[in-house]
Amino acid sequence: MAVFNVVEKFVSINGEGQHAGELAVFIRLRGCNLSCSYCDTRWACTDEADAEAMSEDEIISYVKSTGVRRVTLTGGEPLLAEDIRVLLEAFSSEKNILVEIETNGSVFVGDFAKIDNPPAFTLDYKLAGSGMEDKMDLSNFKYLQKKDTVKFVCSNVSELDKVCEIVDEFSLSEKCTVLISPVFGRIEPADMVDYLIEHKRNDIRLQLQLHKFIWDPNKRGV
């Protein structure tokens, strides 16, 4: 039996991704290998963050107790958790639970994609404004399926050129859902819409983080 450092667990709506607006159980694991300039969960990324030690059975039992079928595993970077494969394989045998894992794009996902009944991946591509673009593992794009998502968080309009370059080079919109979203407070969403119109990008979807409009942007547990 494995042990996972859970810094938050709660029920809310998905604020972003393919299932934005749908109820989900959030399991936030401690630790991250990146330090993005706009990170809004930096408090969860250090080894000193308060955490509850939970086994895979305890996590699944908690999820079942909520009555909510969809689970979002997040962080930090959840794929760095020791024995994360144990947790994903435990979830894979729960046919009534739908698991999505939010990963930062720097960790190889190929091995996890081969699990029976694998999770859906929401895979970030960190653009230059994050300060972490050089950490991206582009080999991850080979493993994407229709249930997966690639998400680009943009700090300025000029980064949208790079988004289109990556989407086209790796045929991402043919493999999965492609989302762009603004760094909260840094770029106007209307400018991003104008870009999509001007460049006729029917294959890229703008998405705002719902939880930051429903609640205070800094509020935890939502």
Which residues contribute to the annotated binding site? 13-15, 28, 32, 36, 38-41, 74, 76
Which tokens in the block code for residue 168? 């086209």
Residue positions forming the annotated binding site for substrate: 13-15, 28, 74
Q: Which residues of 5-20 are buried (b: 16+ CB within 10 A; e: fewer)?
A: bbbbbeebbbbbbbbb
Q: Are strands 70-74 and 23-29 parallel, antiparallel or unpaired?
A: parallel
Length of the chain in terms of residues written = 222
The C-alpha angle 152, 68, 49, rounded to 5 degrees, equals 60
Residue positions forming the annotated binding site for Mg(2+): 41
> How far does CA 90 lie from the centroid of its chain?
20
* Residue 107 CB coordination number (10 Å): 18
129 prior amide bond cis, ω within 30: no
Residue positions forming the annotated binding site for S-adenosyl-L-methionine: 38-40, 76
Residue positions forming the annotated binding site for [4Fe-4S] cluster: 32, 36, 39
Cβ(31)–Cβ(75) below 8 Å: yes
